[in-house]
Amino acid sequence: MGFNIVQESGRPVTIKDEGLTLVENVGSIDFTGTGITGSVLGTDVTEDVAGDTSSSTKTTYTKQQNFGEATLTDGATISWDLDDNQVAKVTLAGDRTMNAPTNMVAGGTYILRVIQDGTGTRLITWNSVFKWVNGEAPTLSTGGGDIDILTFYSDGTNMNGVAQANFS
């Protein structure tokens, strides 16, 4: 089920849907119902709810929006669950193999910050789902403490990536 909630300045919000509970709070509207959770904050804000991708309504944010950076577990193979970690970092303590990420979404953008440990010279062997410009995986920076930032666009099957190297 998908619907839009629109609150115009100074006007009440009315939602009519079976199984939906609406609670008005100071400065926000919280709603819950079968398969529905979320909130609309402030006024003059329109939110798409429950994954309604058919709506042409745009969301206007009045504050910065971002993803928290998660830390991936370093090991012989590195796993990345994109459901939990859209932006992540890993510090390499040896040569590693990057597994195919789980939960790729077509149209998703993902960022990985790769940090060399104090020794440096660490390499990553990339799973075949990682696709690179001209078919060549990037050469990571090799200095101790060097940082590379890898940005990916997913088509739902592959992670098409570019690298920005040597933030030292």
| Residue 43, domain member (yes or no) | yes
Please state, as a whole number, how many other Cβ atoms lie within 10 Å of the Cβ of residue 32: 14
Q: CA nearest 145: which of 108, 124, 119?
A: 119
Dump pLDDT digits (tens) for 40-68: 554 444 444 455 555 567 788 889 888 89
pLDDT at 102 over 80: yes
Q: Is 59 part of a structural domain of the chain?
A: no
For residue 64, tell me if it sits in a domain: no
| Residues 102 and 140 placed together within one structural domain of the fold | yes
> Is 57 part of a structural domain of the chain?
no
Q: In Å, how far are 47, 127, 155 from 163, measured between CA atoms?
A: 33, 16, 18
Q: Give the chain's mean pLDDT.
A: 81
- Residue 99 pLDDT > 50, yes or no? yes
Give the domain range for residue 85: 69-167
- Same domain membership, residue 162 and residue 82: yes
The band of 114, judged by pLDDT with boundaries at 50, 70 and 90, is very high
What band does 19 get if pLDDT is binned at 50, 70 and 90? Answer: low
